[in-house]
A and B are shown apart, each in its own frame.
Chain A
Amino acid sequence: MERVIKVARMQLINKWVFIGLPLLILGCAFVFSLAIFWIVRENGGEGTMYGGGAQAPMWYFLALGIQALTLTFPFSQAMSVSRRSFYLGTVLLFGVCALALSVFYYLMGLLEKATGGWWMDARFFALEWVADNNGAVQIGFYFVLMVLLFMVGFLIATIYMRWRTTGLLVFFIALGVLLLGVIALLTFNQLWGNFWTWALTWTAAGVTLWGGVVAVVMAGASYLTLRKATVA
């Protein structure tokens, strides 16, 4: 456990990567969105205005998942850290950061509602589909989404570490074939209508739950892959 914590501390030696950059991305997206909302409002735009800028840091987590592994894993090996400790420390640290950011999203959502959408009926944090749920579901939703994206990056990077380019090729070709199969299935059976009706019944709580399951499966898969990964 001691070494797991040390791995988290090692990841934080450069605080920019895990803390500074996500906050900067979020800050910029927020300020830019507010500016756009203001321009629209000043020029006679009517009704509630929605912005999707809050997801900006989440896409960075995809890259962070890749980076945390490809660059730090070879170094952690030189620091005589077991793969298990490296994995736990890194995922644990990301979990804590994601949780803190999720709570921040929730609090900013409350503030957004309290100020009447930043005094101009704008929605950046509190998008109704999510914000109409209770606090736990909201925080859970953001958290799962962040972990999911981080895990996608992490899994892809572990596959690369273990099987290099060949592994990635096989992975993406298999993924492509799978998606193509699903599309063919839906198209041949004329099920697209049903699919979209079904997709629209999804709630934030449902997405949180199933997203959580997928994230756990990916976490397990990336651990098993990392167990036998080598740096050279």
Chain B
Amino acid sequence: MSEQTPVLVRNVSKTFKDVKALDDVNLQLDSHKIYGLLGRNGAGKTTLMSILTGQGFPDAGEVKVFGHTPFEHDGTLSRICFIRESQKYPDEYKAFQAFKAAALFFENWDEQLAQELIADFNLPLKRKIKKLSRGQLSAVGVVIGLASRAEVTFFDEPYLGLDAVARQIFYDRLVEDFALYPRTIVLSSHLIDEVANLLEHVIIIDSGRIVMDEDAESLQGAAVTISGKAEVVDEFVADYPVIHRDSLGALASVSIQQRLTPAQQTEAKELGLDLSPLSLQQLVVRTAMGRNVLASHQDQAKERTSWNA
């Protein structure tokens, strides 16, 4: 059973009233990998994770977790952990009671790890959860997510309200524990640069569509920004997929989603163009924004032609 693909998503769509939250999503998550699910607020990250964990349901398409539809399937659900960014806890619960419940349900629960994390985060165990600060609330979710050691673990914006030190503790502990107990971990985030070097695989979602699904390694240098004289730049990038364009007077700076061969790099330099690789964060921002920006450029262009005519 553990041989099966942890997560398989086929043609999943989901609409809330008039908003298309997920639009024909196809994905595969493998075992023993840390995934980054990146995108803007409202891009569909939480909706996707809800459906993957049987908490929500798709309008169309299917999801298989270890070969089963997770919805209402206790055997499959017991191998998954998903704490929401806005997770609700019973009103009277104190932090230690939430951990007690988690220890009941998650078979691989590691109490010692939980205790270490609680100490790391300075979590007040006897305080009611509804009285905790936003950061402490996030820490409760992080402790449950890590100590559950579930075969597929989702962290939904786990760092909200955590200070820089606490965030670093989370990243360190995650990597440390992952090395000892490899599993499928999905980190949903919009603080991309911070998590960039944890990720082995990057999935970018925008307006409900998967716009990128690639190994982190292959993303290094997958997009470049070319700057120089506008007409030279435009001529150079003519055949490549442009994700962003800035211009200032006669100068332009254009980002393309294209890996340049050494020959192409030399050619660019000979033309007097500057090349700089996009960071993961810039890539996400450009990929997510690029489509809108390009669309509006085209609209403007159309408008101009109609004005002239």
Q: Do B104 and A16 have beta carbons less than 8 Å apart?
A: no
Q: Do A228 and B57 have beta carbons less than 8 Å apart?
A: yes
Task: Indicate which residue in B72, B88, B101 contacts A231 across the interface (CB closer than 8 Å).
Answer: B88
Complex alpha-carbon distance, A61 and B246, angstroms: 64
Tell me if A164 is interfacial: C-beta within 8 Å of chain B. Answer: no
How many chain B residues touch the partner (CB < 8 A)? 36
Q: Do B92 and A17 have beta carbons less than 8 Å apart?
A: yes
A binding-site residues for B, Cβ under 8 Å: 3, 6, 9-10, 13-14, 16-17, 67, 71-72, 74-75, 77-85, 227-228, 230-232
Task: Indicate which residue in B74, B78, B97, B144 contacts A78 across the interface (CB closer than 8 Å).
Answer: B144
Residues of A near B88 (CB, < 8 A) are 71, 74-75, 231
**Interchain Cβ contacts under 8 Å between A and B, 13 examples:** A71-B90, A72-B90, A75-B89, A75-B101, A78-B87, A78-B144, A82-B72, A82-B74, A84-B72, A230-B50, A230-B56, A232-B50, A232-B86
Shortest distance between the CB of A147 and any CB in chain B (Å) = 22
Tell me if B83 is interfacial: C-beta within 8 Å of chain A. Answer: yes
Residues of B near A84 (CB, < 8 A) are 72, 74
Tell me if B159 is interfacial: C-beta within 8 Å of chain A. Answer: no
B binding-site residues for A, Cβ under 8 Å: 46, 50, 53-57, 72-74, 77-84, 86-93, 97-98, 100-102, 104-106, 144, 150
Residues of A near B82 (CB, < 8 A) are 78, 80
A67 nearest in chain B by CB position? B91
B88 nearest in chain A by CB position? A74
Count the A-B residue pairs with Cβ separation under 8 angstroms: how many? 80
Residues of A near B144 (CB, < 8 A) are 78
Residues of A near B77 (CB, < 8 A) are 80-82
Residue of A3, A9, A75, A228 with most partner-chain B CB within 10 A: A75
Complex alpha-carbon distance, A85 and B54, angstroms: 14
Task: Indicate which residue in B86, B91, B97, B150 contacts A80 across the interface (CB closer than 8 Å).
Answer: B150
A5 nearest in chain B by CB position? B104
Complex alpha-carbon distance, A231 and B56, angstroms: 8
Q: Do B92 and A14 have beta carbons less than 8 Å apart?
A: yes
A80 nearest in chain B by CB position? B77
Q: Do A9 and B87 have beta carbons less than 8 Å apart?
A: no
Task: Indicate which residue in B54, B78, B91, B98 contacts A71 across the interface (CB closer than 8 Å).
Answer: B91
Residues of B near A67 (CB, < 8 A) are 91
The 3 A-B residue pairs with the shortest CB-CB distance in the complex, in nearest-first order = A74-B88, A80-B77, A79-B105
Q: Do B78 and A3 have beta carbons less than 8 Å apart?
A: yes
B46 nearest in chain A by CB position? A232
Complex alpha-carbon distance, A72 and B86, angstroms: 14
Residues of A near B102 (CB, < 8 A) are 79
Q: Do B93 and A14 have beta carbons less than 8 Å apart?
A: yes
Complex alpha-carbon distance, A126 and B64, angstroms: 57
Task: Indicate which residue in B46, B57, B97 contacts A13 across the interface (CB closer than 8 Å).
Answer: B97
